[in-house]
């Protein structure tokens, strides 16, 4: 009888341990899907940012040929609009940074004229448009003129947030790379 109780106890312990381990794996994969592929990296950078020590993670999307750094304390959510247009949004409590390789998800643009300029990101030409919104926030839309085959002409990076976060947005933009 004692052998059966001991065997049963060991079986319960093993099953419970596997269940907890499996749940943690699912949580880790949800938090950064690329960790399971070995694509996420972490580094610490010190810049003239509001938060002097900003720990960054790297997100890599091989299907859409890009990588980007984002603050470790931000979250991200991937999705598809109409089951075909991939998008990903990185966010914190005040700001959102979206990447839409095929465009779509158009929420409309402000009526006022943006500040527009040509920029280069990862040796690719792009158009950057900046708006100051009525609520005091900013909206930045970046459209690549030169982009990989997996992107289309309606592509965009869509950024909304507070003016105080502009340095962080620029840091994220500077980390963007097209990958093969």
3-state secondary structure of 26: helix
Q: What is the pLDDT of residue 102?
A: 87
Give mean pLDDT, residues 74-90: 83
Those residues with Cβ within 8 angstroms of residue 23's Cβ, 6 or more apart along the chain or in another chain: none
DSSP letter for each residue of 52-96: SEEEEEEEEETTTTEEEEEETT-EEEEEEETTTEEEEEEE-SS-E
Q: Does domain 39-178 have CATH number 2.60.120?
A: yes
* pLDDT band at residue 17 under the 50/70/90 scheme: very low
DSSP letter for each residue of 116-134: EEEEEETTEEEEEEEEE-T
* pLDDT band at residue 112 under the 50/70/90 scheme: confident
Q: What is the pLDDT of residue 8?
A: 44
Higher pLDDT: 67 or 40? It is 67
Give mean pLDDT, residues 36-64: 59
- Is residue 14 scored above 90 in pLDDT? no
Strand partners, 124: 121
pLDDT in tens, 95-109: 999 999 988 656 678
- Is residue 26 scored above 60 in pLDDT? no
- Token pair in block for residue 27: 């949580």
Q: C-alpha distances in angstroms, 13 versus 8, 16, 24, 75?
A: 9, 5, 16, 33
Strand partners, 178: 66
Torsion angles phi and psi, residue 35, rounded to 5 = -60, -35
Least trusted range by pLDDT, from 2-6, 26-30, 62-66, 71-75: 26-30
Q: What is the pTM (predicted TM-score) of this model?
A: 0.69
Higher pLDDT: 103 or 72? It is 72
Give mean pLDDT, residues 48-77: 84
Give 121-125's long-range contacts (Cβ < 8 A, gap of 24+). Answer: 121/173, 121/174, 121/176, 122/176, 122/177, 122/178, 124/178
- The Cα–Cα gap between 135 and 163 comes to 11
Q: What is the pLDDT of residue 40?
A: 38
Q: What is the pLDDT of residue 53?
A: 65
Domain boundaries, the chain: 1-31, 39-178
What's the number of CA atoms in the CB half-sphere (13 Å) around residue 54? 20
């Amino acid at each position: 009888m004692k052998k059966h109780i001991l065997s049963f106890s060991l079986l319960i312990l093993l099953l419970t341990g596997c269940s907890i381990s499996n749940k943690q794996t699912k949580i880790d994969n949800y938090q950064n899907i690329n960790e399971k592929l070995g694509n996420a990296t972490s580094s610490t950078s010190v810049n003239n940012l509001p938060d002097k020590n900003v720990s960054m993670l790297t997100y890599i999307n091989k299907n859409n040929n890009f990588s980007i750094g984002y603050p470790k304390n931000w979250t991200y959510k991937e999705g598809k609009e109409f089951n075909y247009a991939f998008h990903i949004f990185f966010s914190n409590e005040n700001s959102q940074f979206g990447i839409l390789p095929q465009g779509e998800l158009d929420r409309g643009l402000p009526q006022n004229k943006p500040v527009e300029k040509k920029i280069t990101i990862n040796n690719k030409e792009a158009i950057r448009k900046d708006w100051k919104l009525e609520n005091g926030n900013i909206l930045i839309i970046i459209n690549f003129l030169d982009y990989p085959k997996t992107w289309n002409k309606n592509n965009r990076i869509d950024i909304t947030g507070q003016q105080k976060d502009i340095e962080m947005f620029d840091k994220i933009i500077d980390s963007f790379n097209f990958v093969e």
